[in-house]
Amino acid sequence: MNQIREHWTGRIGFLMAAIGSAIGLGILWKFPYTVGQNGGGLFLLSYFVCLVIVGIPIFIAEIILGRSSQRAAVGAYEHHDPKNGGWKVVGWFGVLASFLIMSFYSVIAGWGMSYILMSLNGFYQSLSGNEVDAAYETLTRSGDISLFWHFLFTLITTGIVLSGVRKGIEKWAKIMTKVLLALLVLLFLYAMSLDGFGKAVNFIFHPNPEDFKLTSVIEALGLAFWTLSIGQGIMISYGSYMKRSSSIVQMCMIVAFSVIVVAVLAALVIFPVVFTFDLPPEAGPGLIFQTLPYLFAKLPGSLVLSTMFFTLFVFTALTSAIPLIEVVATNLMELKGFSRKKAALLVGLATFIFGIPSAFSNTSTIFPGWAEIYGMDFLKTIDSLVSIWVIPVGGLLSALFVGWVMDKKVSHSEFVYGTKVPFLYKPWRIFMRWIVPLTILIIIVQKSGLYDFDLLLKGAG
């Protein structure tokens, strides 16, 4: 590295960027229906537990890796393991995850952009439920329109990353995360006035033990990983832009706490709408693009409401997409000596190209037999590959690295710096060494069908 590394202007800059990154489409798109499908309150509780047991410790670890090495993912592992160098593969895992996520993320975000335009046009105001569904089908089946939005979204993200850490990422993340939070609060206030609000609160917070299984815990863990943007190398990069001036632990607590608040708030915005019209909560991925627009159309002020909602959606996506490109690009910059411009453009182009099959996934133009071979369309294949395998395995390896390989002195000095809770270092380290790897391992075993832990739960109960 011949130049001086760019850093955040201050704590707020980092916090806004990290929160914006963490609050991704997962919270709007996956969180509500996953909560709905997995027994409401009890699931929410296990999500919190996963966040505390696994999510936050790994989050702290990634920030420590980044700040102490002042390098992006691959370089960070190399820095802390100079002898062997094998661990840098874990960094590549993160880069791979970011790349793959960006490729389909921008397709979904692109649909969101399309819905802003459609909302502004008041397109679906007088349509029936079937017709709204049909509009979504037409959009996703129209390969060229999907591709257009996919391209536009990639372009915007690349443009922001091109301008660098302070002028690009921090500046835009600050603006958008603030707007995002404001929009969410406004929508929440609106949702409170709806008839279904009480029912929604009941649904989200009331534990329903029958729907709850161990598989739900796995979902919760996956969600915790997703909603904290860990296992993707993002927090290593973001940590590397931090100066040694504030406590990592405190910062991480703030980010995690904000994510929880936003997740619950998002659920409290979406479910009242669903319950007001007595629809079932387990709508699945179609919830955002099919159910909500239809319901918005029935509510007073629908045009403003749905425009606001989809702006929220796009901002959420954008603040999370920025680090996805940033991570891949900074790794290229450090390893290949590319300039920021060259790296960002190259990564933007590559994710765009790799995303083309995702944009066409609901049509059968590219890879016509894909769903028959892999059991799901291209976009979902990549999504599940990343969220079920690449991210958790990457998380497992990073926990093992920080717990067992990394110099204890380094992690200790980074952990305790400026913190009021230095006594937390020991428990954190025990978590990284034992609890986190074991939890992730159990989940991988359960997912893979080697052993069904649900039997154990049933046997105990």
Partner 1 sequence: MSQVREHWGSRLGFILAAVGSAIGLGVLWKFPYTVGKNGGGLFLFSYFICVIVIGIPVLIGELLLGRRSQRAAVGAFDVLSSDRPKWKVAGWFGVLSSFLIMSFYSVIAGWGMSYILMSLNGFYQNLSSDEISKVFEKLSHSGSITLFWHCLFTLITMSIVLSGVRKGIEFWSKLMTRTLFVILIGLFFYSMKLDGFHKALEFIFYPDVASFRFSSILEALGLAFFTLSLGQGIMISYGSYMRKKENIPQMACVIGFSVIFVAILAAMTIFPVIFTFGFEPQQGTGLIFKTLPYLFAQLPGSLVISTIFFTLFFFTALTSAIPFIEVVATNIMEIANWPRKKAVLLVALGTFLFGIPSALSFSHGLFPSWQNVYGTNFLDTIDAFVSTWIIPVGGLLTAIFIGWRLDRQISKDEFPLGKTWARFYKLWHFFMKWIIPLTIFLIILQKSGVINFDGDCYGSNAVEHDASGDSSS
* 32 contributes a contact to partner 1 by CB under 8 A: no
Asked if 245 touches partner 1 (CB under 8 A), the answer is: no
Per CB under 8 A, 300 contacts partner 1: no
* CA–CA gap between residue 244 and residue 265 (Å, rounded): 33
Per CB under 8 A, does 307 bind partner 1? no
Closer residue to partner 1 in complex, CB, 250/384: 384
Looking at 82, 280, 449, 459, which residue binds partner 1 (CB under 8 A)? 449
Long-range CB pairs of 164-170, under 8 A, 24+ apart, other chains included = 164/6, 164/340, 165/6, 165/7, 165/8, 165/241, 166/6, 166/7, 166/8, 166/9, 166/13, 168/322, 169/17, 169/322, 169/323, 169/326, 170/8, 170/9, 170/13, 170/14, 170/16, 170/17
Of 329, 297, 300, the closest CA to residue 154 belongs to: 329
Confirm or reject binding of residue 284 to partner 1 (CB under 8 A). Answer: no
Minimum separation from the CB atom of position 385 to partner 1 (A): 6
Site for partner 1 in 84-113 (CB under 8 A): 85-86, 89
- Name the residue nearer to partner 1 (CB basis): 155 or 349: 349
- Contact code string over 58-87 relative to partner 1, x by CB under 8 A: ---------------------------xx-
Which of residues 82, 300, 368, 461 is near partner 1 by CB under 8 A? 368
Interface with partner 1 (CB under 8 A), residue from 375, 427, 430, 457: 375
In the complex, the smallest distance separating the C-beta of residue 215 from partner 1, rounded to whole angstroms, is 13
Could you tell me the maximum CA-CA distance found in the chain, to the nearest angstrom? 66
332-361 residues near partner 1, rule: CB under 8 A: 357
CA-based nearest residue to 67, from 230, 232, 244: 244
- Smallest distance from the beta carbon of 229 to partner 1, in angstroms? 22
Supply the minimum distance, in Å, between the C-beta of residue 86 and partner 1.
Answer: 6
By CB under 8 A, name the one of 69, 306, 381, 439 that touches partner 1: 381
Tell me which stretch binds partner 1 (CB under 8 A): 9-17, 22-30, 136-144, 373-381. Answer: 373-381
Task: In whole angstroms, give the CA distance from residue 29 to residue 87.
Answer: 33
By CB under 8 A, the residues from 384 to 403 that bind partner 1 are 384-385, 388-389
Specify the residue, 24 or 357, whose C-beta has the smaller distance to partner 1.
357
* Tokens matching residue 21: 């990154």
Using CA atoms, how far apart are residues 86 and 92, in angstroms rounded to an integer? 11
The answer for residues whose C-beta is within 8 angstroms of residue 225's C-beta and 6 or more apart is: 54, 55, 231, 387, 391, 392, 395
CA-wise closest residue to 188 among 177, 176, 200, 174: 200
Within positions 116 to 145, which residues make up the interface with partner 1, using CB under 8 A?
none
- To partner 1, the closest distance from the beta carbon of 397 in angstroms equals 13
Which residues, in sequence order, are CB contacts of 93 under 8 Å at separation 6+?
Answer: 231, 233, 390, 393, 394, 397
Q: Which stretch binds partner 1 (CB under 8 A): 24-32, 133-141, 158-166, 443-451?
A: 443-451
Find out whether 248 and 60 touch, Cβ atoms under 8 Å: yes
Give, in degrees to the nearest 5, the angle at Cα 308 between 303 and 309.
100
Residues making contact with partner 1 (CB under 8 A): 85-86, 89, 357, 366-370, 372-376, 381, 384-385, 388-389, 447-450
